Chains A and B, each alone.
Chain A
């Protein structure tokens, strides 16, 4: 599963991993907005931004090739549009779509591979996102692997019994059976959730996770935040000047 790899990467110990998530979120925000609003001289700005991200990957000691490939998952959506754009006579727009979406995905990937998800969610809460929503996200993430493994088992079992997508859609009885399997997964998930709920209540859960160590915004974080927000902005200003 993809996110297992991400879990491993995010538990590194590089300087980038140790930065406060709020600083990293701020840096990401500025980067994304700088990129998204850029219109002119993308051929100069894009390589500069890519260089920043690559430097971040190296500093965080994340396998660069894997990361660059993972961010490429966005091409499955963007390539058709880019091709159409190219064919209707707007190659600049095509390139812009490809480059912007890829660099944005790479930037998010850099954030998530240097920040474990629980820490990231705490950072988001500190910025002001609703805690209820973040907690739901945290549980979702925690149980995602468990539930999807079960779903994959069910799917393999069905395949082993000769199910095909065509057959499932073709006959009503098959469709009902598939719906029944999904319903069974739902019921099992629900029952599991109730068990988890009761187990946590029995251990004194009141809806919040006490943090083992509070988020501390240190001087290194301030320095990083300043540098990481200035870099893309300066690059953009320089790129626009060159025109």
Chain B
């Protein structure tokens, strides 16, 4: 499920709405360049496909179930900007018609899944999609898109003082990782089957484009840093806003360590990725 209304504090949902609006506008403009208006049916039907695929739930083993998100797959087949538009349309329909995700929180959900998730998922493919690491890149893209979306959502909830005890944080981390691995695996399996059906379904990544790289890297860094910041949040934010905490317990310190560890892993992977990419293009 996506974040409903009433969970995010006003500064958070308002800020995310403000962040998402121009991002979507830019994505729409870029998408229009590669998909002229008469090809809109293609985007719509692909959106319906991903939507339908999302409705198939599979148990993740800890009493919760997960489902395919599909942002990375859309990015590989349609390109990142059209994928943003399609994911945004999916989220809008989910919010309006199925009340899955709030309308005020739509900005946050769109930013997490349709913007950051799509670009973070496209990043590995953009760097490694043309070489011998193509399959790993596709897998990594799927995994990264889910991880980044989930981390950002968690950050927003933490920043809004949603009570999440340490045990639940640890559990969510495990669930995110399992979902990410599953998403990567499903994305790869589907991509491979697509290549046998019709090789040019999955587009070749374009030559290194600064914008795509920057956006993808920014998305991942934002997620990583965001969670670390948010997990230390109650103290910091209270000092800024002079609001009393409902509860500050020591579980937070341990959670912070765990999340900081994940963030560090991200940062290291990213750094390695850049070094390797620079070596390969040299």
Contact = CB atoms under 8 A, between A and B. Distances in A.
Contacts of A142: 44, 48
Interface in B1-35: 1, 3-7, 10, 13, 24-25, 28, 31-32
Interface string A167-201: 00100000110111011111101101110110011
B163 A176 contact: no
Given A140-B89, A144-B51, A182 B42 contact: no
Nearest to B42: A193
Interface stretch (B98-106, B208-216, B229-237, B255-263): B98-106
A208 interface: yes
Contacts of A66: none
Interface stretch (B119-127, B188-196, B219-227, B273-281): B188-196
Contacts of A200: 38, 41
A3 B97 contact: yes
Given A112-B97, A133-B28, A133-B88, A101 B5 contact: yes
B47 interface: yes
A196 B39 CA distance: 10
A60 to B, nearest CB: 16
Majority SS of interface residues in chain B? helix
A150 B37 CA distance: 27
Nearest to A29: B103
A182 B190 contact: yes
A224 to B, nearest CB: 19
B41 to A, nearest CB: 5
Nearest to B90: A140
A112 B97 CA distance: 7
Main secondary structure of the interface of A (DSSP, over half): helix
A3 B98 contact: yes
Nearest to B182: A169
Contacts of B36: 207
Contact of B246 (A93, A103, A205): A93
Given A139-B40, A140-B47, A84 B85 contact: no
Contacts of B168: 84
B92 interface: yes
Interface stretch (B55-63, B128-136, B264-272): B55-63
A146 B32 contact: no
A180 B194 CA distance: 8
Contacts of B3: 77
A140 B44 contact: yes
B43 interface: yes
B225 to A, nearest CB: 24
B247 A88 contact: yes
Contacts of B45: 139-140, 143, 147, 189-190, 192-193, 196
A204 to B, nearest CB: 10
B49 A147 contact: yes
Contacts of B37: 132, 135, 206-208
A45 interface: no
B4 A78 contact: yes
A97 interface: yes
Interface stretch (A32-40, A49-57, A210-218, A230-238): A32-40
Contacts of B85: 132-133, 136
Nearest to B86: A136
Given A37-B10, A138-B44, A148 B92 contact: no
A190 to B, nearest CB: 7
Given A2-B98, A112-B96, A189-B46, A151 B198 contact: no
Interface of B: 1, 3-7, 10, 13, 24-25, 28, 31-32, 36-49, 51-53, 55-56, 58-59, 77, 85-86, 88-90, 92-93, 95-100, 102-104, 162-165, 168, 182, 185-186, 188-194, 197-198, 201, 246-247
Given A104-B102, A136-B43, 6 more contacts: A3-B98, A88-B163, A132-B32, A133-B88, A139-B43, A200-B38
Cβ-closest 7 pairs across A and B: A139-B44, A179-B189, A207-B37, A100-B6, A183-B193, A104-B5, A193-B45
7 contacts: A97-B162, A136-B89, A146-B48, A147-B48, A182-B53, A185-B52, A185-B53
